[in-house]
């Protein structure tokens, strides 16, 4: 009966949580301490027991809430950003929208609504959606949100593991890795994605830099603790700059590799990438933290049951483009959204809504997104653009007057001309 099912579910989730811990303890005992990156990768995306793979509690009933879950306006303004870049690029005949880590799919859903509203402008443009998602659980939720559940799954070894058509008639494909997404003119989007990629941690000591590792606590059975590597590790040599002044540094090599790939693609095929996340410009130290049921959570407790995250180092991302693209930002979320016209959008929505409950909800979510003490200041927007988008190519013999470059929306005030 129902009681039996509930009890079984509780038993299962209890056993699953501890079985990832058990798996990690087994690994530690066999081959020594793990790097924080290995630990974070297992805790978040272990195929059987990772937090995102089996839980992924985004939204009010989950472990954390994100901007697209709070307000439709967030995604709408991002949709307008892409349209504005598409126009600035001379309205290419086709584009791909590629989202990394789409969560529940709300952001792409809001963007697709904007595309639909601007259908006459986009009518001759061939648009396709490409979602990069490792979690089977979240990809199902995305499919439900975007297509109403009408999707076809492919065999497990296929690079495109699912396909469908959006409610607005646009083809959607799902991948596990960005390298499987077809090349071509593309708009990339990563919201609260980079902060989920595994970081290495390093501590300055009297004997020089040491990597922070995760080991078993000898005092408490089945408990983990941080230790320092006894000597320098290979990762360290590559990641600590000689001029580094901080005492503690976090580095996310996977983010570096991903940015290199994005920069390569943008240089070759054109488009734009928009990255939004909390982060800093190479100044912060210890930002590794966990969330469970909207409360801070000890990162070493119950791996797989809590969201783990670290601030994104935008200075590192900028460096890893290796000059292949131009970069803009990071700028604060409240500045970006203000430049994109959030105030006007709020006024329109307030005027169009009759009941006070809806108006109250609109004002509340605006405050969450914009208030410097809430999400307004700690979230940042960062963009990669082909060089020619921001500077004229050097043509010394060109006697024609050059057309002025159109400013990039969001990073300066949006011009509605």
Contacts of 194 by beta carbon, 8 Å cutoff, 6+ apart: 252, 255, 258, 275, 277, 279, 312, 317
69 counts as binding ligand SAH under rule CB under 6 A: yes
* Beta carbons of 229 and 314 less than 8 angstroms apart: no
191 counts as binding ligand SAH under rule CB under 6 A: yes
Least separation in angstroms between residue 389's CB and ligand SAH is 25
103 counts as binding ligand SAH under rule CB under 6 A: yes
Phi, psi for 328 (deg, rounded to 5): -130, 140
Take residue 225 and report the two structure tokens written for it.
């603790």
Interacting residue with ligand SAH among 77, 112, 138, 212 (CB under 6 A): 138
To which H or E segment does residue 137 belong? helix 136-147
How do strand 379-385 and strand 160-165 relate by DSSP bridges? Answer: unpaired
The answer to whether the bond into 353 is cis (omega within 30° of 0) is no
Chain centroid, CA 299 distance in Å: 20
Question: What CA–CA distance (Å, rounded) separates 183 from 34?
Answer: 36
Least separation in angstroms between residue 44's CB and ligand SAH is 6
Q: Per-residue x/- mask for ligand SAH, residues 261 to 300, rule CB under 6 A? A: ----------------------------------------
Take residue 99 and report the two structure tokens written for it.
């989202």
**How many Cα atoms sit within 13 Å of 69 on the Cβ side?**
17
Least separation in angstroms between residue 50's CB and ligand SAH is 9
Pick the closer one to ligand SAH by CB: 364 or 392: 364
Interacting residue with ligand SAH among 39, 81, 193, 194 (CB under 6 A): 193
Q: Per-residue x/- mask for ligand SAH, residues 397 to 416, rule CB under 6 A? A: --------------------
Question: What CA–CA distance (Å, rounded) separates 145 from 64?
Answer: 19
Interacting residue with ligand SAH among 192, 211, 277, 335 (CB under 6 A): 192
Interacting residue with ligand SAH among 25, 134, 160, 302 (CB under 6 A): 134
Take residue 143 and report the two structure tokens written for it.
């499919």
- By beta-carbon distance, which residue lies closest to ligand SAH? 101
**Neighbouring C-beta atoms of residue 92, cutoff 10 Å:** 14
Least separation in angstroms between residue 107's CB and ligand SAH is 6
Q: Per-residue x/- mask for ligand SAH, residues 27 to 66, rule CB under 6 A? A: -----------------xx------x---x-x-------x
Query: What residues make contact with ligand SAH under the rule CB under 6 A?
Result: 44-45, 52, 56, 58, 66, 68-69, 101-103, 107, 132-135, 138, 191-193, 196
């Amino acid at each position: 009966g129902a009681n039996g099912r509930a009890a079984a579910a509780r038993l299962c989730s209890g056993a699953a949580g501890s079985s990832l811990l058990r798996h990690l303890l087994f690994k530690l005992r066999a081959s020594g301490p793990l790097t924080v990156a290995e630990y974070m990768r297992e805790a978040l995306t272990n195929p059987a027991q990772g937090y995102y793979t089996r839980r992924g509690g985004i939204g009010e009933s989950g472990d954390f809430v994100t901007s697209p879950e709070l307000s439709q306006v967030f995604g709408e303004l991002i949709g307008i950003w892409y349209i504005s870049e598409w126009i600035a690029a001379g309205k290419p005949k086709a584009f791909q929208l590629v989202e990394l880590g789409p969560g529940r799919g709300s952001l792409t859903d809001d963007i697709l609504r904007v595309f639909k509203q601007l259908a006459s402008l986009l009518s001759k443009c061939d648009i396709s959606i490409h979602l990069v998602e490792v979690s089977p659980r979240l990809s199902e939720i995305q499919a439900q949100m975007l297509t109403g559940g009408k999707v076809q799954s492919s065999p497990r070894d296929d690079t495109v593991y699912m396909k469908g058509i959006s409610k607005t008639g646009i083809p959607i494909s799902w991948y596990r890795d960005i390298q499987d997404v077809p090349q071509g003119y593309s708009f990339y989007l990563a919201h609260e994605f980079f902060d989920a990629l595994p970081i290495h941690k390093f501590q300055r000591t009297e004997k020089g830099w040491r990597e922070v590792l995760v080991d078993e606590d000898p005092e408490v059975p089945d408990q983990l603790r941080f230790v320092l590597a006894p000597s320098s590790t290979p990762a360290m040599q590559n990641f600590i700059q000689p001029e580094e002044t901080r005492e503690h540094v976090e580095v996310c090599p996977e983010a570096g590799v991903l940015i290199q790939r994005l920069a390569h693609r943008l240089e070759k095929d054109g488009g734009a990438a928009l990255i939004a996340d909390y982060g800093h410009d190479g100044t912060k130290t210890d930002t590794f933290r966990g969330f469970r049921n909207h409360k801070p959570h000890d990162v070493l407790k119950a791996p797989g049951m809590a969201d783990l995250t670290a601030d994104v180092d935008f200075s590192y991302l900028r460096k890893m483009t290796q000059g292949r693209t131009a970069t803009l930002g990071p700028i604060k979320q409240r500045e970006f959204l203000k430049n994109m016209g959030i105030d006007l959008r709020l006024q329109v929505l307030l005027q169009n809504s009759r009941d006070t409950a809806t108006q109250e909800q609109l004002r509340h979510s605006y405050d969450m997104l914009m208030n410097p003490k809430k999400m307004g200041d700690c979230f940042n927007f960062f963009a990669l653009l082909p060089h020619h988008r921001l500077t004229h190519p050097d043509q010394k013999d060109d006697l024609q007057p050059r057309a002025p470059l159109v400013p990039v929306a969001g990073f300066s005030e949006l011009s509605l001309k």
